[in-house]
Amino acid sequence: MAEATVKRTGGGRGRFITFEGGEGSGKSTQIKALAQRLEAAKLRTIVTREPGGSPGAEIIRHLVLSGMGKLLGADAETLLFAAARDDHVRNVIEPALNQGIWVLCDRFSDSTRAYQGRLGNVPPEVLNAMERVTIGDLKPDLTIILDVPVEIGLCRAAARRGIGAPDRFEAEDVGFHRDLREAYRQIAADEPQRCVLIDATPDPATVAASVWAVLHDRLLTTPAGNAVNSA
Ligand code: TYD
């Protein structure tokens, strides 16, 4: 499990790893920790986020998080997330993967499934159609879903925010965040080959060790148990 056992996997396409979870689940802390570990293992890595991650998508991020999307209604808000994703995938994610770079993305299409689908009642056929346009065949190689009880997550988000105003989704009520947690647990149960649910209640170092163990087993080790070496 130590970094020393990880051999360079350069040469081929990079790996696409997404992080998902409710408010205050600790995604950004964990992504940062994982990026450092991958860099230490000599794997070229970038960290990006949604909504946003490319100049065009960051403009849309500003719009949706300001609450403008909510005024337009769930379908139109979903279109805004899709437009941002389209720009991000074409200009940042795909080019990086094609250069052999590992991409760590804070939220991706599961966020749309959970927030707009389960909570916004946007029908699956609409989401499927948008995914066909925005991401096509691009599926994450691994999705880490950080799971934390709603009360703890909201407390963490409030502490991080300080005196700043909650954004569009942080401002929703506790029932919304409970449903959101269920939506993510369901996604993890439905797609176990891609998704892993990790308990994000412990301290950050403990959660980081769990994330690394999963990543190592799924993406850095061959079925025979050897570290990958595709260089
Ligand atoms: P952000 O400040 O990045 O929050 P977090 O730290 O929780 O990731 O805000 C992004 C918000 O946008 C978050 O509340 C989830 C929401 N969102 C959607 O509703 N649909 C989506 O497709 C994406 C990517 C995000």
**Is residue 139 classed as helix, strand or coil in its secondary structure?**
coil
Q: Write the CATH number of the domain with boundaries 14-219.
A: 3.40.50.300
Q: The sheet that has 102-106: what strands, in order across it?
A: 45-49, 102-106, 16-21, 142-147, 195-199
Q: What is the pLDDT of residue 202?
A: 97
Q: What is the pLDDT of residue 1?
A: 37
Q: What is the pLDDT of residue 45?
A: 98
Least confident of 13-17, 79-83, 165-169: 165-169
Q: What is the mean pLDDT of residues 24-52?
A: 97
Residue type, 168: R
CA distances from 224 to 217, 219, 220, 228 (A): 11, 13, 11, 10
* Whether the predicted pLDDT of 173 surpasses 70: yes
Q: Which residue has the higher pLDDT, 141 or 172?
A: 141
* Closest atom, ligand 1, to C-alpha of 81: 22
Q: Is the CB of 19 under 6 A from ligand 1?
A: no
β-pairing, 16-21 with 45-49?
A: unpaired
| Ligand 1: centre distance to CA 81 (Å) | 9
* b/e map 80-116, b = 16+ CB within 10 Å: bbbbbbbbbbeebbbebbeebbbbbbbbbbbbbbbbb
| Ligand 1: centre distance to CA 181 (Å) | 14
In this structure, the dihedral spanned by the alpha carbons of residues 159, 180, 71 and 87, taken in order and rounded to 10 degrees, is 90
Q: Is the CB of 81 under 6 A from ligand 1?
A: yes
Q: What is the pLDDT of residue 67?
A: 84
Q: What is the pLDDT of residue 223?
A: 65
* Whether the predicted pLDDT of 189 surpasses 50: yes
| Ligand 1: centre distance to CA 98 (Å) | 26
In this structure, the dihedral spanned by the alpha carbons of residues 36, 37, 42 and 45, taken in order and rounded to 10 degrees, is -50
Could you tell which of 28, 66, 108, 111 is best to mutate to test the pocket of ligand 1, judged by most ligand atoms within 8 Å of the CB? Answer: 111
Spell out the domain ranges in the chain.
14-219
Residue entry with tokens 């990086």: 96
33 pLDDT band, cuts 50/70/90, is very high
Contact 127, 78 (CB under 8 A): yes
Q: Is the CB of 111 under 6 A from ligand 1?
A: yes
Q: Is the CB of 115 under 6 A from ligand 1?
A: yes
What's the chain's average pLDDT? 91
Q: Is the CB of 184 under 6 A from ligand 1?
A: no
* Whether the predicted pLDDT of 195 surpasses 80: yes
Q: What is the pLDDT of residue 224?
A: 67
Q: Is the CB of 112 under 6 A from ligand 1?
A: yes
* Whether the predicted pLDDT of 17 surpasses 90: yes
Determine the Cα–Cα distance for residues 180 and 186; give it in Å rounded to an integer.
10
Cα–Cα nearest to 45, from 80, 8, 75, 70: 8
230 pLDDT band, cuts 50/70/90, is very low
pLDDT tens-place string over residues 98-139: 999 999 999 999 999 999 999 999 999 999 999 999 999 999
| Ligand 1: centre distance to CA 7 (Å) | 34
Q: Which residues pair with 143 in a beta bridge?
A: 18, 195
